[in-house]
Structure 1
């Protein structure tokens, strides 16, 4: 591999298709068209098809990829050096390496410092990284096998996306048939959590708490909980029970999750709303109603119009939602639960397939698994 940068002088009279870089080897990020007159850069790097490219500034995050073979004319700043693979290295093979933690770790080791002081990864240092380099014929087999797996991953991701859209449309169709005559504050308690402070982060009575990052559409992530001080009285005040709904106040306002069990000893901070249903509405239906409000833009309409959107408790309590009779609540919740089961099954299958992909690629790169030379005959027949 050699450094191969095609620096092009910026023409103020023309436009350029600008790209950036996704982390963890996920490819190029298309940022859109930019007029030459809008940039202070004197030159831009044109990225060629099948070229290796990385972000000097974000290399420690795994911001590296191999450009697609069918890449259109795109450009990036000088922060994105490009390299051309030599005859002994297939671009497709190196593209697989860019998706491995081993390469990300090596890039991180080359990028020293913290935050804004972090050093950029220099091209000469990048070229010192050693990689496993089997013969080209073996590289080709590995690329072909992994291509088949990746095709399956992409197909399953699309199927999951369609399942999610089906559930969303069904929810909207079901709830749009009712008048949104109730304010959320009339049918549920809406409460923000405990304010985080420097003293509370290090004080006595430390306990884990839920923050925005833990509340995801696919469930509650309890793998990375921060702690702060929660005295005895506040542990009662900010407790979490089965049936409670946790919703984000900022970041992605209204993103929410329904608790299926009590979270003993875990509490929530001020960036989170706890919605606790009254006797007039079932918690599972209230959750569906809040997701409906999010999907239809009703929640966004209540957010503050600052750069970072926030959903205050006062505003959230005014959210209008439909509350049908008990029988209809149960019927709608059951229909949506059944529809969501297919979506959840598809998502679980994707997770398993991604684990399989990582395991298989690791085994192929380490030669723990070897592909027979007879596979070449099959490649010739289908090529």
Structure 2
């Protein structure tokens, strides 16, 4: 449809790895360079031509409000022998992502695209409609459990911070820098894109640190011959902060657990906070997750890209934190982390269920049902695209 400069257009994108829609802020017709937009309807298949190779594909929910996207997001309706709910499940599989990657054409990076005609020529094993419906029923039970556990974990995480805000509401406020002995960082090394093997040295990706959670698997193997300073070696008990990340995630703080694997190093986008003896390390993690600290850090971040903002060490030192006596710090952190432990247990159960789901779905699609081969073009029809 043609863009009206006087209209606002609620816009969406598509998340990678079949994770659904990305809901963006409405765009004014007068502020966009696009002359035409695609209307994204409920219950249609949509993918990103540019990011299809990353699995950016989904089926829109039936209750989707009026939404729009650029013509880089072609949409397709379903034939009568195709269950949209089944295809929504199919978009979450490695087989679909691999097929999209093979269909991607171009020369590197942002020039790679999957054209609608090539997408419709993808051949996959699609079972008959009754089997599709049965798969939806079986996988839906697991998906409902995952959704319930996700909600429980989110509720517990919000509860933990509500407890922290309440317990610390009347404490005196100091600048973080007055309670630090040092801020230490690593450097930008040459690294592979793959994670390090069991006996290899690795460097942390910026995604390794999220609020309260350290993810050692989010690391890359160093290239042979690359050296790192000993001061950048990650140690159990370290308190780490991201100095560069997306606008809402910059300044995330987590403590390294005691069982962290050996041979991981800080990169230049992650810093180590060294608290003074008057500041409990666990309490530091809690204090840096408070609304006042998060607001300070995110509002202090600067950058020219929507995907990576930076906050300086000076601004980190200026972060306001409450400072009760040491024994009170430990009481507060113990109360908060106890609730967070229950949230982590729910998250672990979600991860286990996702593995069960993946194995079950793979079996349903590849081993325990009689699958008929069909071209996607025979089950879906192009809607919002030019076909080129």
Q: Deviations over 1:210-231 (max 9, x none)?
A: 3422222353222223437446
* Contact 2:12 2:67 survives alignment (8 Å): yes
Equivalent residue, structure 2, for 1:43: 36
Q: Deviations over 1:258-313 (max 9, x none)?
A: 12337654332332221122322332223222333665524445x25454643322
1:41-190 matched pairs, under 5 angstroms: 41-112=34-105, 113-118=107-112, 120-181=113-174, 183-190=175-182
SS of the residue 1:297 aligns to: helix
Q: Deviations over 1:204-261 (max 9, x none)?
A: xx95333422222353222223437446xx31x3344333211111223321111233
SS of the residue 2:133 aligns to: helix
Residue in structure 2 matching 1:259, options 256, 259, 262: 256
Report the more deviating stretch, 277-286 or 158-167. 277-286
For CA contacts below 8 A with separation 6 or more, give which structure has more relative contact order: 2
Per the TM alignment, residue 11 of structure 1 is displaced from its structure 2 partner at its CA by: 3.8
* Contact 2:53 2:101 survives alignment (8 Å): yes
Q: State the alpha-carbon separation in 2 of the partners of residues 328 and 46 from structure 1.
A: 55
Q: State the alpha-carbon separation in 1 of the partners of residues 33 and 332 from structure 2.
A: 56
Name the larger-Rg structure: 1
Runs of 5+ consecutive residues of structure 1 not aligned to the other structure: 1-7, 200-205, 371-383
Report the more deviating stretch, 240-249 or 216-225. 216-225
Q: State the alpha-carbon separation in 2 of the partners of residues 80 and 144 from structure 1.
A: 29
Per the TM alignment, residue 115 of structure 1 is displaced from its structure 2 partner at its CA by: 0.8
SS of the residue 1:365 aligns to: helix
Equivalent residue, structure 1, for 2:186: 194
Residue in structure 2 matching 1:9, options 2, 8, 24: 2
1:269-288 matched pairs, under 5 angstroms: 269-288=267-286
Residues 193 and 124 (structure 1), Cα distance of their counterparts in 2 relative to 1, 3 Å cut:
same
Residues 304 and 163 (structure 1), Cα distance of their counterparts in 2 relative to 1, 3 Å cut:
closer
1:368 matches 2:373: no
Q: CA RMSD of the aligned region, Å?
A: 2.8
Q: State the alpha-carbon separation in 1 of the partners of residues 310 and 67 from structure 2.
A: 36
Per the TM alignment, residue 369 of structure 1 is displaced from its structure 2 partner at its CA by: 6.4
Per the TM alignment, residue 318 of structure 1 is displaced from its structure 2 partner at its CA by: 3.5
Equivalent residue, structure 1, for 2:203: 209
Q: State the alpha-carbon separation in 2 of the partners of residues 188 and 365 from structure 1.
A: 55
TM-score between both structures, scaled by the size of structure 2 = 0.80
Q: Deviations over 1:172-226 (max 9, x none)?
A: 1122231124x43333223232332679xxxxxx953334222223532222234
* Contact 2:46 2:76 survives alignment (8 Å): yes
1:227 matches 2:222: yes
* Contact 1:209 1:226 survives alignment (8 Å): yes
Q: State the alpha-carbon separation in 2 of the partners of residues 245 and 333 from structure 1.
A: 14
* Contact 2:50 2:110 survives alignment (8 Å): no
Q: State the alpha-carbon separation in 2 of the partners of residues 179 and 335 from structure 1.
A: 20
Equivalent residue, structure 2, for 1:333: 333
Equivalent residue, structure 2, for 1:344: 344
Q: State the alpha-carbon separation in 1 of the partners of residues 25 and 270 from structure 2.
A: 35
Report the more deviating stretch, 79-88 or 96-105. 79-88
Point out the structure with the larger helix share: 1
SS of the residue 2:173 aligns to: coil
Q: State the alpha-carbon separation in 1 of the partners of residues 27 and 277 from structure 2.
A: 56
Residues 99 and 173 (structure 1), Cα distance of their counterparts in 2 relative to 1, 3 Å cut:
same
* Contact 1:207 1:230 survives alignment (8 Å): no
Equivalent residue, structure 1, for 2:315: 315
TM-score between both structures, scaled by the size of structure 1 = 0.81
Residue in structure 2 matching 1:250, options 238, 244, 249: 244
SS of the residue 1:9 aligns to: coil
* Contact 1:254 1:294 survives alignment (8 Å): no
Q: State the alpha-carbon separation in 1 of the partners of residues 180 and 42 from structure 2.
A: 56
